[in-house]
A and B are shown apart, each in its own frame.
Chain A
Amino acid sequence: MEKSKVNVKDIFKLNIRKYAMAIALVFIMVLFQILTDGILFKPLNITNLILQNSYILILAIGMLLVIVTGNVDLSVGSVVALIGAVAANLMIKHNMSVVPVILISLFIGALVGAWHGFWIAMIKIPAFIVTLSGMLIFRGLTLVILKGQTLAPFEESYRVISSGFIKDIFGGANFHITTLLIGLVFSIVYLYTELRDRKNKMKYGFTVGSTQMLLLKNAIVIIAINLLTYSLAAYKGAPNVLVLLFFLILIYSFITNKTVVGRYIYAIGGNEKAARLSGIKTDKILFWVYVNMGLLTALAGIVFSGRLNAAMPRAGTGFELDAMAACYIGGASASGGVGTVIGVIIGGLVMGVLNNGMSILGIGIDWQQAIKGLVLLIAVAFDAYTKSKAKK
């Protein structure tokens, strides 16, 4: 009896660290739901929440890989602006059509990433300095391209990614049936993979959590997914950018969890010297991590400029900090080697819900900044505290 009590406590302790941010996110959501008299969870607002935060989440995924290698990228805000400027220039001034514009934008993003990667990985200049320089260079180039002025508007087709919604093939009158179906299908797939995973673990004699814990966890996830799709279906259905984000999360979770390259990225951040002595070409990996960051930054730039429907000289200012904050709140370690894609998404959503909730309450941007800063510190301090506790 005494023993099982201790175990329950241990399980609680173990999980509180793992799920602390997810729990905090739920708490913040409920808090603002009450404070805003139920506006937060209104279908329209949920949709807004996603649209508002999509580009930060895209950046945060790229930033996660950079941070896991133990580095940083300060330039992403400027590069977001640069990509918007390039796309606007090509489309509005040169009447180029949407597909080549997007391809060229992505290519330029990758090129910018390669530029940073070259100096950081090959010439061994600290990432902080290289990307600080990049922050200035690419902001400057944006001003050059835009001649200091705003370029607008984009063609409607360019804005499909950022502001469009998926088509309802069933043509539901009040509800977006396709969105609901996607939620259900995803729930089933999720449950199936979880169960398969557990079965495999048991096959290899691993300790698995209790059945109740598994059911609880799955129930929470499935309910959350379906509440989300239900609420989206009640408005215009799932936004295109959510689908994009969903695939990015899937792809990058796969890369970080299941691929050799993913493992290399963590090993570099964990101990670069050990990684090199294990035959890993650390320079090459680091280079490609920055190329990837550039590519995702370009994607975020396309989404952001599409959403604004304009290319502005000062666009994207401070995005790099939001993306990094999402990573750190989501449990990534500033010294590298630690962090998950899901954690980062949760971290990004914590910030997003705080922004959105406080805006609804009419709290000014001044206080929003201060509160967000405090949340970042508390999140990381809590993580450090639980870690030092676990050591004892």
Chain B
Amino acid sequence: MTQIILNMNNITKEFYGVKALNNVNLEVREGEIHALVGENGAGKSTLMNVLSGVYPHGTYTGDILYEGEECKFIDIRDSESKGIVIIHQELTLSPFMSAAENVFLGNERSKNGVIDWEKTSTEAKKIFEKIGLNENPDTIVNELGVGKQQLIEIAKALTKDVKLLILDEPTASLNEDDSENLLKLLLEFKKSGITSILISHKLNEIQRVADRITILRDGSTIETLNNDETLSEDRIIRGMVGRDIGDYYPSRDSEIGEIFFEIKNWNVVDAVDNKKKIIEDVDINIRSGEVVGIAGLMGAGRTEFAMSVFGESYGKKISGTITKNEKELNINTVSKAINNGIAYVTEDRKDYGLVLIDNIKNNISLANFEKISKNNIINKNEEIKVTENYRKDLNIRSRDILQKTEDLSGGNQQKVVLSRWMLSGPDLLILDEPTRGIDVGAKREIYTIVNDLAAQGKSILMISSELPELLEMCDRVYVMNEGRIVGELEGEDAIAENVMKCIMKYSREGI
């Protein structure tokens, strides 16, 4: 009988009244590799942040039993002292420091506050050998590839006498070989008695290394499966996506017309890395009154594609054509995109959407001064009237239009951004993760708005990582992976299993 190292019971965590975790249970056995799967937003990362003390004791309810005793971690240091180490999806290395310095960051090899460089180097070297990282400890981290950086994170964890290692999507940004190495390393760790929790979207990897798999969906534990030969990929996917949809998605009454927008041979090179093609030969079209989705994993290139279409606001060396009503458009700036009837609602409303320190009114009018000004002078009455109308129509819950957008909830912030772009009167509205991080009620309201716009004959291109949302809302779905369109699903074929199959098939075949 193997021992239970970790037991998380009835964990509930709320953000501003929205339940991110709802009575979640997780049981991990000593020495196993336990996979945690679920869609984006299912609560995997939140659960791990609760475990590692990022969200301290008291901000959630439920209890954590670790090695048989109840734990009330107040911060990460607290959980690390017990041997629980988390490696986040975004690496937390200091880019201009050496590999060795990073390994011992916050845990320096020193004597009386003076760093012992000799010891730092030799000990780092030893750990590197252990994990198969053949690299000089004095190399600046910046100069190493992502795969090696990931290994340095792991080396860092090892210096902390790790007993329970948590990896949040460790292979998301790694290539095949690096992923392979990492998985082998995990199996090595297992032999030496380290327990791991692995969060990943890549089911084939999970099936290879995991002992058991816990599935989360919408902030709840669905089931824990034993990973044996009888467990199929389809079985896991069903657990991840199956949900009671009911009338969660309002019905749409729109007439799909002719092809309105068409994007052909679209190629984009990465904004930083000159050699990396981020989008390759993408061809898509959208009819009037049609809602078209782009499905794909995080990092598939969907946002980069959308932004490059929107006035080349992302990437370099963009080539391809955009036609509207069979007429080719020349769009190389955002203002040209707006003038040609294209609007883009960003996935990151706080960083790329709103001026948070400014009020609702000014945020809505930001892209629309042509409509409310004359000779460069703003008609303030008109501005107030127009923005107040949007506040009422879209039900933006706020004191008045002079309330700062930073004080609004996520859903209402999203409605402010939507108002801005609805006011611009677009023919093609690109929605990038329109419901990310907002509550169920607001989601429904946004779906209704999308339906209304489609009913007005607009073309809508929707990007979402929530598959059920995408499949329910869209008339047609393109599947994107690694910058290419790898499938187009319509009607009865547009089901989650098929989307996953398109992606998996492509990943397996490689390029």
Interface residues of A, Cβ cutoff 8 Å to B: 200, 203-207, 258-261, 263, 266-267, 270-271, 273-281, 333, 337-338
Contacts and interface: CB of A to CB of B under 8 A. Distances in A.
Given A258-B378, A267-B362, 8 more contacts: A204-B388, A259-B378, A263-B378, A278-B367, A279-B335, A281-B333, A333-B357, A338-B357
Given A267-B366, A278-B367, A204 B355 contact: no
Contacts of A205: 388
B377 A258 contact: yes
Interface of B: 310-311, 313, 333-335, 337-338, 344, 346, 351-358, 362, 365-367, 369, 373, 376-378, 380-381, 384-385, 388, 400, 402, 420
A370 B380 CA distance: 44
A338 to B, nearest CB: 6
A240 B344 CA distance: 51
B354 A274 contact: yes
Given A267-B366, A273-B352, A274-B354, A258 B335 contact: no
Contacts of A260: 369, 373, 376-378
A268 to B, nearest CB: 9
B313 A276 contact: yes
B313 A263 contact: no
- Of A203, A204, A260, A274, chain B has the most CB atoms within 10 Å of the CB of A274
B334 A270 contact: no
A270 to B, nearest CB: 4
A281 B335 CA distance: 8
A279 B355 contact: no
Q: Please report whether the interface of chain B is mostly helix, strand, loop or mixed according to DSSP.
A: mixed
Given A277-B344, A277-B346, A263 B352 contact: no
A274 to B, nearest CB: 6
12 contacts: A204-B381, A204-B385, A206-B400, A259-B377, A263-B362, A266-B355, A275-B355, A278-B334, A278-B367, A279-B311, A333-B357, A338-B357
Contact of A270 (B346, B357, B381, B385): B357
Contact of B358 (A203, A267, A277, A280): A267
Nearest to A335: B357
Given A260-B369, A270-B355, A277 B313 contact: yes
Contacts of A271: 351, 354-356
B380 A270 contact: no
Contacts of B376: 259-261
B334 A276 contact: yes
A337 B420 CA distance: 19
Contacts, number: 85
Contacts of B334: 276-280
A273 B358 contact: no
Closest 4 CB pairs of A and B: A270-B355, A278-B367, A279-B335, A279-B334
Given A258-B380, A277-B313, A337 B352 contact: no
Contacts of A267: 355, 358, 362, 366
Given A267-B355, A278-B366, A279-B334, A200 B381 contact: yes
A371 B171 CA distance: 58
Contacts of B311: 279
Contacts of A270: 355-358
A338 B406 CA distance: 14
Nearest to A391: B407
B343 to A, nearest CB: 10
Q: Looking at B338, B354, B377, B400, which has the most chain A CB atoms within 10 Å of its CB?
A: B377
Contacts of B400: 206-207
A277 B352 contact: yes
B354 A278 contact: no
Given A260-B373, A261-B376, A204 B384 contact: yes
A32 B253 CA distance: 73
A207 B346 CA distance: 32
Nearest to B417: A274
Contacts of B335: 279-281
A203 B104 CA distance: 65
Contacts of A281: 333, 335
Contacts of B356: 270-271
Contacts of A207: 400
B118 to A, nearest CB: 38
Given A204-B381, A266-B358, A273 B366 contact: no
Contacts of A277: 310, 313, 334, 344, 346, 352-353
A338 B362 CA distance: 13
Nearest to B399: A207
Contacts of B385: 204
B463 to A, nearest CB: 15
A261 to B, nearest CB: 6
Contact of B355 (A203, A206, A261, A274): A274
B373 A274 contact: no
A388 to B, nearest CB: 13
A266 B344 CA distance: 22
Contacts of B352: 273-274, 277
B23 to A, nearest CB: 31
A275 B380 contact: no
Contacts of B388: 204-205
B95 to A, nearest CB: 19
A148 to B, nearest CB: 43
Contacts of A338: 357
A275 B373 CA distance: 18
Contacts of A204: 381, 384-385, 388
Contacts of B366: 263, 267, 274-275, 278, 280
A203 B380 CA distance: 13
Contacts of A258: 377-378, 380
Contacts of A203: 381
Contacts of A275: 355, 366
B141 to A, nearest CB: 24
